Structure 1
Amino acid sequence: MTLPVETFFLKPDAHGTLQQQIQQMIAQGILSGRFKKREKLPSTRKLAVHLGVSRITVTIAYTELLANDYLASKGRSGYYVSENAPSPPAFSATPERQDAVDWTRAIGQKFSGAATLSKPLDWAKYRYPFIYGQADPTLFDHTNWRLCALQALGQKDFTSLTTDYFDQDDPQLIEFIGRHTLPRRGITARPEQILITLGAQNALWLTTQVLLTQRRNAALEDPCYPALRDILSQSRCHVTPVRVDQDGIPPDAIPPQTDVIFTTPSHQCPTNATMPMNRRRALLNRARDLDALIVEDDYEFEMSFLKSPSPALKSLDTDGRVVYVGSFSKSLFPGLRLGYLVGSEPFIREARALRASVLRHPPGHIQRTAAYFLSLGHYDALIRRMGAALQERRKVMEEAIAARNLEISGRGFYGGSSFWMLAPTGIDTEELAQRLRAKGVLIEPGHAFFSGEQPPHNYYRLAYSSIPSARISAGVDLIADEIAATSPTGPIY
């Protein structure tokens, strides 16, 4: 690759002759890592015209750098960064300057520093990746997704690829969601009541921004999806965590004056609890009594391979007070970032306007590719294949956990892709995770899911969505052995 001539410039306050300035400019580019080995430099003529100097000045600078082995010459093809560029540098590196801005005062609101979940980017290289929400390449339908993407790139779909929808969405994707996806959850909705989002997290952010202010109150599950807690904190509303039980969030524990209730009734995050029908009705009644709205995050309902999923809370709503959040990112692949909001038209109108002011709309090509993948039946086939694989892995993991007497704190009775685990008292799963990582095992510590200054540190999550069945037992053995080695209560057999 040839380095763009625009990346070369002379500093107005530089010292020395023009030839020395050019020589130093190129050397510093190499020593700072901006210019990589084997990259081609602009020709002496192009660089001379760009810098406004004579060609002989550039040629002399190149020749000096060639002599010092910063550059290499390949006959008539030009000059390249040498494989043997010297180190330490012959020229002193430019010192990093300190900003004159006091950022502690300049930043009006902080968004970093919260307890978040982290997954190593190279998770697939670990032999025992018990981590949640990553795509398994052995299960994903690469071929048909690629064909759908190519189809969406065709001349027929030129408009969907290139059009600025402004605040609208791909009509084919909206139609499929309205006619096929939502009816499976017992939900009916018009196109005006559906909005495409960049995943469920973006949907939750839009919802929070529209519904909550500094004077309003939100109730959320505890433990919960950590990013939701961060989103609510950023809105500066008043937040009340409500501890969940084996059936999800208890309606009676939701405090008075609550304006919005956030819940995951089909598959509580992270405990995997499924809210029974009588509690769903009780939650709707509690919201009606409070004149509150409910935000239902219906993630992982597709992974109900043990039993048919319960109808969505939104399907039981006769008041229009439930806002429904769905996502294809969990079931297809997390990098897709494609979800949707369903709600009453006045709410969707405001969420649509907010989305347009921030990002206008999710890319049209991604929307049309997903529409083809869904409508051609590839999505349903993928879900069936994933369900069969996850059911087998779940069985193997349950047997391995039972054999080593590890404690399951929560499991999805309808399916899902993980177990919520409880380590013995005194075990810090953050430290446990670090030790296991050195042995090729990835687990998710659970403290980030809890609210409060002193969350429990002996919970952790074991997912089976990204690990083959054949490796599960050996991985669980490593976890149990590590817990036994540090447990104050003695070994686990």
Structure 2
Amino acid sequence: MPIPPDAFFLDPAAGLPLQVQLRRQIIAAVTAGRFRAGEKLPSTRALARHLGVARVTVAQAFAELVSTDYLASRDRSGHYISDSIERRLEAGPPAPDTPRFDWDSQLEGRFARAQRRDRERDWRGFAYPFVYGQADPALVDHAAWRDCAMRALGRREFDSLTGDLYDADDPELVDHIARHILPRRGISAGRDEIVLTMGAQNALWLVAQVLLRPGTSCAIEDPSYPGQREILRASRARILPVPVDARGLPPDAIPPGVAAVFTTASHQCPTNSTMPLPRRKELLARAQDQGFAVVEDDYEFEMSFAGAPSPALKAIDRAGAVIYIGSFSKSVFPGVRLGYLVADPRFIAEARALRGMMLRHPPGHMQRTLAHFLSLGHYDAQANRMRNAYARRRAVMLAAIAHHGLTLASPQASGGSSLWLATPDGVDSAELAARLRPRGVLIEPGAAFYADPVQGRGFFRLAYSSITAERIPQGIAWIAQALGEIAAAGPHLPLIRP
């Protein structure tokens, strides 16, 4: 890619010769990685015209950099960043000419401290990626999505996409969510009860900002979704973990004085347990009596393999205490980054105002593309395809787990795209994960899911959304072999089992 002339500038008041300034500017850009080996510089004529200097000034600067091997001159082609420059660069950047601004005194760092650090960005480079939350591109209907994107970008609709919606949402997408998506969960909602978000993570952030203040107490499931804990920690709320059991969150264990309770009632994260109807009713009754809001993250409701999923908490909430979070990240693909909140109109108005301050609204072209994807039937077709593929992968995984004698921590769970497993006594899942990485196997150790990471060392999650059925048996075999090697290495300290 050629380097444009406007990447350069000179300061006549700098007190340095213009040739020296240009030379230093190129060296600094190369050292910082902005200019890379093989990239072509502007011609001396074009750069001199842009900088308003004599052509000889640029030519002399280039000649000096060619002599020091920062640039290479090619006959009848021009000047390029030298191909050997990467081998010549020092380990670090050059010492700054002026003292650096003291950002440490300006920043608290609470957001960076709260951020999860156990996820592998290069998961596609592993042969056996049992990684949750990632999609198998083969299951996504690329042609249908492209067609919907082209419709959204067509001349007839383009005018509406180029405008700022301020705090509004695409009416077609909201209408389809209200009339087709929510009724499947037993939920009836008007337009003033729905606001679109940039996925479930953004929805959780909006909820935390609206409901919680520093020092306010909230109850969360333990174990629970790590991203939720990141958000709540950054809000400076007082987080009260409530241990879950085989039926999810026990309402009678919720401590008094909380402003909100966060739950994944239909598909507990990460154990996959489902809260039964009597417990759901008890939770809502306590919310009414004690005056706390219930935040329901209803992720993966589309991936049920045991008949119709249970009604959402929001569907049986008569008092309006439930704030419902839905997302298209699992049923379409994670990169779509679109979700929604459903709640009392007064809460939605506040959340919409906050969203408007932060990002106005999710990108209009993505909203309209998704609206077409839903209305033309592609969403239902893809959800069915994913459900069938996941059911097959789940069956293959369960068979491999049984064959190798691994232990399911939630054997009664059904649906979703992952399984929650327990290690043999004394085996730390973090040690297991480290032993598996060189063999191309990625698992999720359990520590990140618990308020006290020690409690999660005896558990790990295996997802099957991002790995094909054909690769699952060998991946499970590697896990079993690694567990055997760890066990043979010697005794281990007993781990905490909730």
Q: What range describes the TM-score normalised by the shorter chain of this pair?
A: over 0.9
Q: Please say if residues 160 and 365 of structure 1, whose CA atoms lie closer than 8 Å, have aligned partners that are also in contact.
A: no
Distance 2:58 2:192 in 1: 63
> Aligned residue for 1:30?
30
Instruction: Answer whether contact 1:271 1:411 (CA < 8 A) is retained.
Output: no
Q: Which residue of the partner structure matches residue 281 of structure 1?
A: 281
Query: CA 1:59–1:97 in 2, change beyond 3 Å: closer, same or farther?
Result: closer
Residue 421 of structure 1 and its aligned partner are, at CA, apart by 0.8
Residue of structure 2 in register with 1:146 after alignment: 146
Shift of 1:306: 2.4
Determine the structure 1 residue equivalent to 2:314. Answer: 314
Residue of structure 2 equivalent to 1:396: 396
Per the TM alignment, residue 87 of structure 1 is displaced from its structure 2 partner at its CA by: 4.6
- What is the aligned partner in structure 1 of residue 496 from structure 2? none
- Letter aligned with residue 370 of structure 2: A
Show the 5 A alignment for 1:414-453: 414-452=414-452
1:270 aligns with 2:267: no
1:27 Cα deviation (Å)?
Answer: 3.6
Distance 1:414 1:308, change over 3 A: farther
Amino acid at match of 2:486: T
State the distance in 1 between where 2:473 and 2:86 align.
Answer: 51
1:380-434 CA-to-partner distances (Å, cap 9, x unmatched) read 1111111111111111111111111111112563311111111123222122212
Give 3-state SS (helix, strand or coil) of 2:150's partner. Answer: helix
8 Å Cα contact 1:307-1:415 kept in structure 2: no
Q: What is the distance in 2 between the residues matched to 1:51 and 1:326?
A: 53
Change in Cα spacing, 1:162 to 1:273, as seen in structure 2 (3 Å) is same
Q: State the secondary structure of the residue aligned to 2:270.
A: coil
1:125, distance to aligned residue in structure 2 (A): 2.4
User: Is 1:343–2:346 an aligned residue pair?
Assistant: no
Q: Cα deviations across residues 344-391 of structure 1 (Å, max 9, x unaligned)? A: 100000000000000000000000000000111111111111111111
Give the aligned partner of residue 165 of structure 1. Answer: 165
Please give the residue correspondences for 1:48-197 in structure 2 after superposition, counting only pairs within 5 Å.
Answer: 48-85=48-85, 87-88=87-88, 94-96=94-96, 100-108=100-108, 110-114=110-114, 116=116, 118-197=118-197
SS in 2 for 1:341: strand
Pairing 1:330–2:330 present = yes
Q: CA deviation at 1:309?
A: 0.2
SS of 1:168's partner is coil
Residues 59 and 477 of structure 1, relative CA distance in 2, 3 Å threshold: same
Q: Which residue identity does 2:469 align to in structure 1?
A: S
Structure 2 unaligned regions, length at least 5:
493-498
CA distance in 2, matches of 1:467, 1:7: 44
Structure 1 stretches lacking a partner, 5+ long: none
Matched residues, number: 489
Find the counterpart in structure 2 of residue 410 from structure 1: 410
Aligned to 1:463: 463
Structure 2 length normalisation: TM-score?
Answer: 0.92
**Distance in 2 of aligned mates of 1:93 and 1:114:** 29
Query: Does 138-147 or 210-219 show the bigger shift?
Result: 210-219
CA offsets, 1:309-346, max 9 Å, x none?
01111000000111100000121111111000000100
Identity %: 52
Sort the Cα spacing of 1:269 and 1:59 in 2 relative to 1 into closer, same or farther, 3 A. same
Q: Secondary structure at the match of 2:94?
A: coil
Q: Give secondary structure in 2 for the equivalent of 1:138.
A: helix
Q: Give the aligned partner of residue 361 of structure 1.
A: 361
Shift of 1:117: 5.7
